[in-house]
Amino acid sequence: MKNRTNSQDGVTIIIAIVLLATISFVSFSLSSVILREIRAARLVQNSEPALASANSGGEVSLYRLQRNIGGISVSGVAMQSSGATFDVVPDLTDTQFPFTATANDAFVSIYNPDSLTTADTGARSVRVTNNGPRHADIWVRPWSNSETVRCFFNNVNPGDSRTCNLLGPDYRYQIHIQRTGGGGQNALGFVEAFTGPDATGSALGIPSASPVLDVTGRHSEVQRKIRVNLSQ
């Protein structure tokens, strides 16, 4: 009888351990679910001010661009109402600006898209490449006097490039491309700007035909991003 009692006591202990393990497992599982739901709710709660901050950043930078105030690129600007912040990264230029001269001539402008009134764009020379199939005439004129021709290149062959050195103090210029001769329907190519004369120095961005503003709103650990397409 003594050995039988000891055997039953052992079974009781094992059952108790199994029950405790099951209860602990269920408790930990519920805790994990509850914590995950709490975190999801917090993310949802923080998403609204983060998105509102991104929208506000887009509106502020768009206003600055339209009013020609400058300072479009900003980082860590705080919203007083919610404590959220926003960053704005503009992408307003292309290192190679493509053109197509059809029956309508093509025009490419060199200026500072962040500040139209800034006379010194940093450009000291421009290079125009005609990829054909048509020949092209090319004029380079300053904004300050559109009647003045800084450079003129007559009947540029397909595959050829021409470089024009710019004169200041106003370095805002317009490049006018007109198709000439035969060989195809259009004249295709691209324009580049450089910080040094004779296409030397660093490549300089030319105002893009499809500029955008990338805006990120942040609140706590939540980030929300929007893109403002300025060409539409």
User: What residue spans define the domains of the chain?
Assistant: 96-204
pLDDT in tens, 24-63: 777 676 667 666 666 666 666 778 888 899 999 999 888 8
The answer to whether 164 and 150 are in contact (CB under 8 A) is: yes
The pLDDT value given to residue 40: 60
Going by pLDDT thresholds of 50, 70 and 90, the confidence category of residue 203 is: very high
End-to-end Cα separation, the chain, in angstroms: 93
pLDDT in tens, 86-126: 999 999 999 999 999 998 999 999 999 888 889 999 999 99
The answer to whether 175 and 140 are in contact (CB under 8 A) is: yes
Q: Are strands 125-133 and 161-165 parallel, antiparallel or unpaired?
A: antiparallel
Query: Among 118, 104, 130, 108, which residue's Cα sits nearest to residue 207?
Result: 108
The answer to whether 206 and 93 are in contact (CB under 8 A) is: yes
The pLDDT value given to residue 1: 46
Q: Model-level pTM greater than 0.95?
A: no
Mean pLDDT value across the chain: 86
The answer to whether 156 and 136 are in contact (CB under 8 A) is: yes
Distances in Å between the Cα of 135 and the Cα atoms of 98, 108, 130, 159 are 16, 18, 8, 9
CATH, range 96-204: 2.60.120
Helix (H, G, I), strand (E, B) or coil at 181: coil
Distances in Å between the Cα of 12 and the Cα atoms of 16, 19, 26 are 6, 11, 21
Query: Among 32, 105, 13, 50, which residue's Cα sits nearest to residue 221?
Result: 50
Q: Which range, 15-24, 147-156, 221-230, has the best average confidence (pLDDT)?
A: 147-156
Please tell me which residue, 220 or 88, carries the higher pLDDT value. Answer: 88
The pLDDT value given to residue 8: 59
